[in-house]
Structure 1
Amino acid sequence: MRQSYVRAAFSLALAVLCARTARQLSADVNPAFDGSRAYEHVRHLVEIGPRPPDSDGIRRTQAYIIGQLKSYGCPVEEHDFHASTVLGNLAMKNIVVKLHGTHPGIILYTTHYDTVRIPNFVGADDGGSGTGTMIELARLFCARKHFLNVWIAFFDGEEAQGNWTDARNVHWNSDGSNNTYGSREMAAQMALSGELKRVKAMILADMIGPSHVRITRDSGSTRWLVDFIWETAARLGYKNTFVDQDYAVGGDDHFSFIRRGVAGCDLIDFSIPYWHTTEDRLDRVDPKSLGIVGQVLAATLPRFEKKFP
């Protein structure tokens, strides 16, 4: 009898130890989103300088993004294409991380990494903040196994092409045909392959870096998905960041997917005064803002996996 008690006590102690070890391993494998890490990526991008499509700057940016993703063990795909623009035929590249799950559904997290074609424009917020955030999100997601397929896409060619020194000469077409080149290319290719119908949700992060960031509810985004993300933010205590106010963003990468029937949502703070000016510098970006948005993005995935069993 005494030996059985000893064995039982030993087994219980071993089970507790194993559980603690498993939790510790899980904590090591599943780190939290780090806004400071995301900010360091933005800093590096700003140091590269202007990054318009088919430029030396964007090629250096592509090498940086790919290098960082591979350092986290992410499977990286490069999708090269040429876009016909008012400036001619421009070489562009989408960069995509594809993490396979056991369920056929796809959750698509996206951003654009190009900058508007303005001299000395470094795009810390517009082009930088979303990219830094998605690189950091990849660090988290690539260390985990997933039920759903998780794709992280970095789009080239979001900005309208033209001579931005006189913005009146740059035309924004209602169908996005003079901008959103990368997202339109990816959506079209996914439609051809049949993968597009597997996408459950597409989230775009664009201009999310300003101090005290305020993300309004884009009226052109899919309503249920907006509600879903805002509920996630509220659960984390970020109602003052994801505010209950509607705003029509207009042309952006999420529409490339929404037009094809995919649920999409644009996360963007359009209240900033420095949009498409050389004032969009590194000092405009706050690591805390990147951390808040990144935490919300990371928290959507387990909720998606419960929503789409």
Structure 2
Amino acid sequence: MALDNNYDVIIIGGSYAGLQAALTLGRALRKVLIIDSGEPCNRQTPHSHNFLTRDGETPGAIAAKAREQLAQYTTVSFFEDRAAYGMPYNNGFEIGTLSGRFFTAAKLIFASGIKDVMPEITGFAKCWGISVLHCPYCHGYEVSNQPTGILANGDAGFDFAKLISNWTNHITLFTNGKSSLSEDQLMKLKTKRIKVVEAVLKEIIHKDGQISSVLFTDGSTVEVSVLYARLPFHQHCHIPQQLSCQLTESGLIKADEFGRTTIPGLYAAGDCFTVMRSVASAAATGSFAAAMINKELIDADF
């Protein structure tokens, strides 16, 4: 469909949450525009797992198949660009892009994701999503029972180590500085034969993103095949804040289980509002948000 200027719904972000939202809305006969800059957070991840019918495929292949299937819905359009600003407009919203295009819609869905902030550890970014991992449900099976490191400290480190112990008994917890674990936590970790290393990380030793060991500033090394880490982040798109959307203390868009934000007519889907960072959960949140938006549009017209 040729690009127009006015839509029922504009979706910012064309990865799994945005694509699923577009599919649900397209099947509800809604005129939809997806604006996407083509920079998904999992773009260097070699395989995606734990998603029925597509387990083990590359993230790009899953997205390409979704776009291929969406092409049959004539009310769904794509525009490759970055959404730059947003403002209220005629009981709806206006979105402007970096290239200078302007679009309006009654409803918005932000499926724009988050941007992980990489630590200043040499090699870390090149391994992110390959052998430096965030989620055992997405990747734990493939690296189970391998020598595993966890980069975390305090309560977060203890809870992460407890979680990962389901997949391997070969765990070292790297606190990257003085441990803030309690005596009780240290005792429990010791009982489970989980080592705690307080040395400061300097470099991830790897080949093409596959870790062989970690190097510390004191010159010592520990051999690991995989490293789990949960990174700080910020919103990939700042338009929700421009439109006065509230964020949670952790920096996610504040929304209910259906993706309804604190601004009427503005929804969130995917990991910009939920800690569940998987293909399956992204698709689910996109479907929920789209269904609720369609209901709102029906109720307004009925």
- What TM-score do you get using the length of structure 1 for normalisation? 0.27
Name the one with the larger strand percent.
Answer: 2
**What TM-score do you get using the length of structure 2 for normalisation?**
0.27
